[in-house]
Amino acid sequence: MSDLSVSLFFPAYKDERTIRTVVEEGLRLLRGYASEFEILVVDDGSPDRSGAIADELAAEHPGIVRAIHHPQNRGYGAALRTGVAAARYEWICMVDGDNEYAVSDLRKMLEVRHFYRLIIAFRYKKLYSTNRIFISFVYNLVLRRLFRTPFRDVSTGIRTFHRSILDDIELTSNSPFIGAELAIKTMLRGYPVGELGIQTFPRTFGRGSATSMKNIRRTIDDMLRVRREMFSDHYHLPSGRSRQPRSLSGG
Contacts of 166 (CB under 8 A, 6+ apart): 84
With cut-offs at 50, 70 and 90, classify the pLDDT of residue 251.
very low
β 118-125/158-162 pair status:
antiparallel
Average of per-residue pLDDT across 63-83: 97
Secondary structure element (H or E) that encloses residue 159, with its range: strand 158-162
DSSP conformation letters of 174-202: -STTHHHHHHHHHHHTT--EEEEEEE---
C-alpha gyration radius of the chain? 19
Architecture of domain 5-230: Alpha-Beta Complex (3.90)
Lowest mean pLDDT segment, chosen from 21-30, 55-64, 208-217, 223-232? 208-217
Do 96 and 26 touch, CB atoms closer than 8 A? no
Closest CA to 6 of 99, 119, 101, 97: 119
Q: Which amino acid, residue 13?
A: Y
Span 217-248, pLDDT tens digits:
999 999 999 999 998 888 877 777 887 766 55
Going from N- to C-terminal start, the domains of the chain cover 5-230
Closest CA to 6 of 76, 97, 103, 110: 110
Mean pLDDT of the chain: 90
DSSP conformation letters of 61-122: STTTEEEEEESS---HHHHHHHHHHH--SSEEEEE-TTS-S-TTHHHHHHHTTTT-SEEEEE
pLDDT for residue 248: 52
Q: What global pTM score does this model have?
A: 0.87
- Cα angle, residue 7 at apex, residues 6 and 13 outer, rounded to 5°: 145
Span 121-170, pLDDT tens digits:
988 766 656 777 788 889 999 999 999 999 988 888 999 999 999 999 99
